Structure 1
Amino acid sequence: MKAAYVCSDRGVPVFGTKGCSLHVQEITKAFEALGIHIRLVAAALGGKCPQELKTVETHHVKHTKTADRQQREQYDIQDNQKVIKELDQLGQLDFVYERYSLWSHAGMTFAKAHQIPSILEVNAPLVEEQKKYRELFDEQSAIKVTQQCFSAASLILTVSNEVADYVNTFPEARGKIQVLPNGVNIERFSQIHHELEPDHVNFTIGFVGTLKPWHGVERLLESFATLNHTYPTTRLLIVGDGPMRDELQSRIHQLKLEDVVEMTGPVAPSDIAQYFDQMDVGVAPYPDDIHFYFSPLKIYEYMAAGLPVVASNVGKISDLVNDHHHGLVYSAHDIGQLTEALSYLVEHPDIARSYGQSGRQCAIQHHSWQSRVKHVLDWSGITIR
């Protein structure tokens, strides 16, 4: 069986280290593991192909370059024809899977024209995001492309109920939507063994993700400063990179925490497990002043790594962490509660360990990428030959 995965977003390098990049890689690997040979058609590569994807046929369809952002929007719309032409050259396909991007409809348009299943993955309300956080010059064309995608898709996957509600405002999408949260590569974390030590020795609080305001890392840093004052042997490990890196480093210096806070910078997915192995708890400190519609990859990874989770109570996180089973949930507006939750786990390492073990079993049983992809095939009516 042969299929195409289309990712036409300039900002999603399919071989990069960002969460969106990891998502593309893991979905591709999950399809391949089930015997479906993926042709990956991408606008941005972002580096060397990971070793585990070396057998995947990759087609780099470059977008037209320009520094003019307004002109770039029009070029991106025109470049759909490049992608369709590339798909035409792949031979017979059994289905097309496309990651929804602001200006791309190529995968869905191609699949509809060839009367094969067309699966659209929607991770965010991109038109609204673009207006709020970046620049959007041609909103009407963005909406038109979105409508074309939703109309051509035979199945639309959304990562959360909140995204599903947004997608459902488009008449073209109604009756096609299924909620498919993110998953985790269980095998990547299978060799991690946590040995929590007594007496609060070397207890490491961990964060993994892009350093952007809506991830709340600056709040975690403030909480850790208080925690470390009480438990001087605790440390904070921040794994990832992003636009807030310089600001966070400056704050670490102001708080005189250079000796107990480590920032790794970007880390390849294949190398990530070694950092989880250094952690005793994983934190998802999302603030309360954002429209939360995510399905946090980091929480699934913390669970798969056998880490207790401490997370703010935004979105459906409370349901996922299952308070007092896989970790602790605190009020997103209250940094003091975050500090209390971390202090509790420092003081009770046996309970922390039991949370981690419970979370790993849950991840194994319910949240693997392969189980996610099997749902996609079932919903699409696709039978593997």
Structure 2
Amino acid sequence: MRVAYVCADAGVPVFGCKGCSIHVQEMLRAMIGRGFDVELFATRVDGGCPDGLESIRVHRLPRLRANRDAATTRQVEQENQASRDMIEAAPPFDLVYERYSLWSFVGMEFARQQGTPGILEVNAPLIEEQAAYRGLMNRHVAEVVARRAFKAASALVAVSPEVADYLEKWPEAEGRTHVVSNGVNVSRFGPLKSEMIRHTDDLTIGFVGTLKPWHGVQDLLNAFSQLLPRFPRLKLRIVGDGPERERLERQAREISRTAITFAGPVLPAEIPAQLSEMDIGVAPYPQMEPCYFSPLKLYEYAAAGLAIVSSDIGEPGRVIEHEVNGLLCRPSDPADLARQLERLNCHPQERIALGRTAHRRVSQNHTWGHVLQRILETVDRPTPVLL
């Protein structure tokens, strides 16, 4: 099967180290693993070709200028046509797979006009996100683009029920939306740690992700500050970069100059090594409505065999079953987060058991191979399904 993978989002460096980058790379690996012949059409690449993706032909799409220029519908049409010309120049495809972006309908309309199945992957309500956090000068144009992309798609794949609920409000998407959560490449993480139990108070608590307000790292730091006076050998390791980093580093220095480490951005290939230095993985999402994330970090923590503490909100609260494959805490409640972390610190057998259950569950149900299979099935199903 020949597949065109389209990502016209300039905020997604497909060969970079952001969570969205990992998502693209792992979907591409899963496609290659199925024997597909994949061509990647992307606006932003960044970095060299990651391991396992050498067979992919990469085409650089022109960067869409819409958000910078308050573009008109006509300008967006012209820019999408330039991207379409590149896709049309390639040999025919059996499937077009597009990661939804604010200003692109090129992949889905190309697929529809060619009579080829087109799957649109939607990771967030991008229009609302852009308006709330970055500013959106031309909302009407973004809505026109969304309607065209949604209408042309054979199927729309949402990463969480919350994203699906958002999509179902659009008449152009109604009835063709499927929920398929994210996954993990378990093979990248190697064997689990030995069952040697570290001494209580000699653990490393970890976070991996972009340092943005909606990831709740401030609450994690506040929780850690409550634990450190009673467990002075505890460590906190924060892996990732983002606009909140400077402020969070200032907050961390007020707590301790030695117990908290910021590793900065790391390549996806380095994530397993980072997680191997941790004992507990945290997803401290704050209270928000809706919480539409399907966090890669939860699946990566589980693949590494870490005990997990997550906020009980949205998809994280569904992935983690309290006291089975992790512990849940109330969102935006550092005191409750601290209590769950203390519990894992003081009960090493439970910590190990939770990590092993989490690992087993993702290995059996949440690899990227599982994700791809569920997505491919959507083009044959006339009604939405929840997976």
* Both structures adopt the same fold (TM-score exceeding 0.5): yes
Q: Could you tell me whether the CA contact under 8 Å between 1:310 and 1:341 is conserved in 2?
A: yes
2:224 maps to 1:224? yes
Alpha carbons of structure 1 residues 66 and 305: separation in structure 2 relative to 1, 3 Å:
same
Match of 2:376 in 1: 377
Alpha carbons of structure 1 residues 68 and 361: separation in structure 2 relative to 1, 3 Å:
closer
Which 10-residue stretch deviates more, 293-302 or 77-86?
77-86
Which 10-residue stretch deviates more, 114-123 or 182-191?
182-191
Match of 2:114 in 1: 114
SS at match of 1:316: helix
Q: Deviations over 1:246-301 (max 9, x none)?
A: 1111111122x121111111110011100110110100000114531111111111
Alpha carbons of structure 1 residues 2 and 289: separation in structure 2 relative to 1, 3 Å:
closer
Q: Could you tell me whether the CA contact under 8 Å between 1:63 and 1:75 is conserved in 2?
A: no
Match of 2:90 in 1: 90
Percent identity among equivalent residues?
41
Q: Could you tell me whether the CA contact under 8 Å between 1:192 and 1:273 is conserved in 2?
A: no
Q: Deviations over 1:127-155 (max 9, x none)?
A: 11111111212211111111111110001
Counterpart-to-counterpart distance in 2, 1:293 and 1:284: 14
Cα offset for 1:166? Answer: 0.7
SS at match of 2:144: helix
Match of 1:152 in 2: 152
Q: Could you tell me whether the CA contact under 8 Å between 1:10 and 1:44 is conserved in 2?
A: yes
In the alignment, structure 2 segments of 5+ residues that lack a partner are 382-387
Give the aligned length: 381
Match of 2:172 in 1: 172
Amino acid paired to 1:97: Y
Matches within 5 A, 1:198-277: 198-255=198-255, 257-277=256-276
Amino acid paired to 1:205: I
Counterpart-to-counterpart distance in 1, 2:83 and 2:68: 22
SS at match of 1:264: strand
Match of 2:362 in 1: 363
Counterpart-to-counterpart distance in 2, 1:336 and 1:357: 26
SS at match of 1:329: strand
Cα offset for 1:73? Answer: 8.7
SS at match of 2:233: coil
Q: Could you tell me whether the CA contact under 8 Å between 2:84 and 2:106 is conserved in 1?
A: yes
Match of 1:321 in 2: 320
Cα offset for 1:310? Answer: 0.2
- Cα RMSD (Å): 1.8
Match of 1:333 in 2: 332
Counterpart-to-counterpart distance in 2, 1:322 and 1:50: 34
Match of 2:384 in 1: none
Counterpart-to-counterpart distance in 2, 1:95 and 1:254: 53
Alpha carbons of structure 1 residues 67 and 5: separation in structure 2 relative to 1, 3 Å:
closer
Q: Could you tell me whether the CA contact under 8 Å between 1:77 and 1:103 is conserved in 2?
A: no
Cα offset for 1:76? Answer: 5.0
Q: Deviations over 1:184-224 (max 9, x none)?
A: 11111123415553431530001000000000001101111
Cα offset for 1:55? Answer: 1.6
Match of 1:304 in 2: 303
In the alignment, structure 1 segments of 5+ residues that lack a partner are none
Counterpart-to-counterpart distance in 1, 2:83 and 2:59: 10
Which 10-residue stretch deviates more, 144-153 or 284-293?
284-293
Q: Could you tell me whether the CA contact under 8 Å between 2:216 and 2:332 is conserved in 1?
A: no
Alpha carbons of structure 1 residues 204 and 194: separation in structure 2 relative to 1, 3 Å:
farther
SS at match of 1:124: coil
Q: Could you tell me whether the CA contact under 8 Å between 2:80 and 2:104 is conserved in 1?
A: yes
Cα offset for 1:71? Answer: 4.5
Counterpart-to-counterpart distance in 1, 2:257 and 2:74: 46
Q: Deviations over 1:147-173 (max 9, x none)?
A: 111110001000111111110011111
Match of 2:6 in 1: 6
SS at match of 2:31: helix
Alpha carbons of structure 1 residues 290 and 173: separation in structure 2 relative to 1, 3 Å:
closer
Normalising by structure 2, we get a TM-score of 0.95
Alpha carbons of structure 1 residues 73 and 225: separation in structure 2 relative to 1, 3 Å:
farther
Counterpart-to-counterpart distance in 2, 1:40 and 1:48: 14
Which 10-residue stretch deviates more, 220-229 or 358-367?
220-229
Cα offset for 1:47? Answer: 1.6
SS at match of 1:295: coil
Amino acid paired to 2:331: A
Match of 1:19 in 2: 19
Alpha carbons of structure 1 residues 294 and 68: separation in structure 2 relative to 1, 3 Å:
closer
Amino acid paired to 2:292: Y
Q: Could you tell me whether the CA contact under 8 Å between 2:291 and 2:315 is conserved in 1?
A: no
SS at match of 1:96: strand
Alpha carbons of structure 1 residues 179 and 222: separation in structure 2 relative to 1, 3 Å:
same
Alpha carbons of structure 1 residues 103 and 323: separation in structure 2 relative to 1, 3 Å:
same
Match of 2:187 in 1: 187
Cα offset for 1:70? Answer: 2.3
Match of 1:103 in 2: 103
Match of 1:279 in 2: 278
